[in-house]
Structure 1
Amino acid sequence: MSLLNAEGLYAGYGGVDILRNTHLHVGADEIVVIVGPNGAGKSTAMKAVFGLVPIRTGRVTYRGDDITNHPPEQMVGRGIAYVPQEANVFPSLSVVENLELGAYVLRGPNAPRMEKVFEIFPRLKERRHQQAGVMSGGERQMVAMGRALMVEPSLLMLDEPTAGLSPRLIDETFERIKGINQLGIGVLMVEQNARQALAAADRGYVLATGENRYEDTGPGLLANPEVAEMFLGG
């Protein structure tokens, strides 16, 4: 079942296209990873899909509906959650307050949604009254993902979720992402830790200079000698 389709995207900043005929597809229940060198347009692609970067030409559909250039609040209301790489928690607020803000577009009690988040991230339940700003980098990433899950999304978009984390926390974060996906939530992820990300992915895209260079299953891209030499460090 198709969840998200982006076709022929030209998008960028100040009239300059960073993306050039970029395409992406996420099926329901898939983990899809975007990798590539710095400046390839990976984060721009994510932001364009979510309505944070204007799309000049091209089309984005979600569950068959055209959502091209819709504002982010409409994306959230449709069940799309986005976790940016930076500034992804409110540091002066507690864990619980951060999670409650994640569900601001929804009606009904937050407690059942919060309990589901605590089941995925038990450490957040232990630290639920702690300010997010004094937590470790890995814990803050849990808060950011937990807040996104409060909208009960069908699609979770993650921009560099392991940035700045230790190797142990990187492994743990990928395990959490796979666990979230097993709940029936599609995942679209941009990652610099390309080998681990592709090992966890159903499919992957390699972008370079805003264009699609390679597309395959995660294992297929890992086994591709050209991809390994050019984008995975040999």
Structure 2
Amino acid sequence: MSSSTTTLLDAQDIYGGYGGADILKGTNLRANADEIVVIVGPNGAGKSTAMKAIFGLVKVRTGKVLFQGEDITNAKPEQMVRRGIAYVPQEQNVFPSLTVQENLEMGGYLMTGDLKPRMEKVYDLFPKLAERRRQPAGLMSGGERQLVAMGRALMVDPKLLMLDEPTAGLSPKLIDETFERIKQINAQGIGVLMVEQNAKQALAIASRGYVLATGANRHEDTGPNLLADPEVAEMFLGG
């Protein structure tokens, strides 16, 4: 762990969902600047809804979302971006008709100043994107598109990167590669909060993990402790 243990995100007792129904029922999530925090749990547990509620895409009915100590509950997504929160949804996370470079430029549209240094940082982190910078994102594989989506999110120079199922549909090799990239991003001082179906692999790189079920916290511990917990393994990690 680095010396920086600033609490970036603190979601407290969140209730909310779609229409009149609460999917989140008292969810609590916290992420520090030096952490990779992983949210796991069964389908329908509210994992993706929790991410969307934090990012202002789902209405928080009661509870609070604090970012660097400031109340950002139900702020608009573009306000979140300006504060330093980047969110990569699971689907429709690239512009397929635009080239890799144009996708990155779109990622930086809210930023002022020269985008080139940011773009070079992204290309250093993802050399494959540098090679393919002129290629339309729609012609890339699922794994490559995921790199474009993460690269685009990094164009806002975020303090916190939120990833919803970053390895969904990827081959085992690409899953490993994606987790390596996430570790590299975190090593640059960017906090990471992610929802992940590949729970065992994700918890193996996690500073901390949360297990959600039916919209509420069931377990919270370090990644290794959750992996070693027989109840968590049996109920949520497939034995």
Q: Structure 1 residue 190: deviation in Å?
A: 0.1
Letter in 2 for 1:179: Q
1:97-138 Cα deviation digits (max 9, x unpaired): 000000011100110000000000000000000000000111
State the TM-score, normalized to the length of structure 2: 0.98
Aligned length: 234
Q: Where does structure 1 differ by over 3 angstroms across 4 or more consecutive aligned residues?
A: none
Letter in 1 for 2:188: L
Of the three residues 160, 182, 186, the one matched with 1:181 is 186
Give the equivalent residue in structure 2 for 1:58. 63
Give the equivalent residue in structure 2 for 1:78. 83
Q: Structure 1 residue 141: deviation in Å?
A: 0.3
Mapped partners of 1:6, 1:117: distance in 2: 29
Q: Does 1:108 align with 2:126?
A: no
Give the equivalent residue in structure 2 for 1:171. 176
Q: Does 1:162 align with 2:167?
A: yes
Letter in 1 for 2:42: P
Give the equivalent residue in structure 1 for 2:124. 119
Letter in 2 for 1:201: A
For the residue of structure 1 that corresponds to 2:133, the secondary structure is: coil
Letter in 2 for 1:152: D
State the TM-score, normalized to the length of structure 1: 1.00
1:182-201 → structure 2 map (5 Å cutoff): 182-201=187-206
Mapped partners of 2:16, 2:49: distance in 1: 8
For the residue of structure 2 that corresponds to 1:169, the secondary structure is: helix
Mapped partners of 1:29, 1:184: distance in 2: 6
For the residue of structure 2 that corresponds to 1:70, the secondary structure is: coil
Q: Name stretches of at least 5 consecutive residues in structure 1 with no aligned partner.
A: none
Give the equivalent residue in structure 1 for 2:72. 67
Letter in 2 for 1:39: G
Letter in 1 for 2:144: E
Mapped partners of 1:139, 1:167: distance in 2: 14
1:1-234 → structure 2 map (5 Å cutoff): 1-234=6-239
For the residue of structure 2 that corresponds to 1:25, the secondary structure is: strand
Q: Structure 1 residue 39: deviation in Å?
A: 0.3
Q: Structure 1 residue 29: deviation in Å?
A: 1.4
RMSD between superposed Cα atoms in Å: 0.3
Q: Structure 1 residue 28: deviation in Å?
A: 1.1
